[in-house]
Amino acid sequence: MTYQTIKATPIAGALGAEISGVSLSDELSDSVIAKIRNALLDHLVIFFRDQKLTPEQQIAFARRFGPLEEHDFVKGLPDHPEIIRVVREADETSLNFGGAWHSDVTHQECPALGSVLYALDVPPYGGDTLFSNQYLAYETLSPGMQQMLAGLTAIHTARGPFGPEGRSKTNWQSMQVEPSAKALEEMEHPVVRTHPETGRKGLFVNKTFTVRFKDMTEQESSPLLEYLFKHASHEGFTCRFRWTPGAVAFWDNRAVLHYALNDYSGHRREMHRVAISGDRPV
Ligand SMILES: [Fe+2]
Domain of residue 172, CATH code: 3.60.130.10
104 is catalytic: yes
Within-domain flag for 163: yes
Q: Domain containing 120: what range?
A: 69-242+253-276
What pLDDT score was predicted for residue 235? 98
Catalytic one of 102, 195, 212, 269: 102
Within-domain flag for 40: no
What pLDDT score was predicted for residue 1? 45
Distance in Å, CA 279 to ligand 1 centroid: 17
State the average pLDDT over residues 83-91.
95
Catalytic one of 195, 258, 269, 272: 258
Within-domain flag for 93: yes
**What is the pTM for the complete model shown?**
0.95
Distance in Å, CA 74 to ligand 1 centroid: 12
Least confident range from 29-33, 90-94, 224-228: namely 90-94
**Residue 107 pLDDT more than 50?**
yes
Question: At 167, phi and psi to the nearest 5?
Answer: -65, -20
State the average pLDDT over residues 39-46.
98
Q: How many domains does the chain have?
A: 1
State the average pLDDT over residues 152-171.
88
Distance in Å, CA 104 to ligand 1 centroid: 5
Distance in Å, CA 3 to ligand 1 centroid: 31
Within-domain flag for 212: yes
Mean pLDDT, the chain, whole residue set: 95
Catalytic one of 43, 71, 88, 104: 104
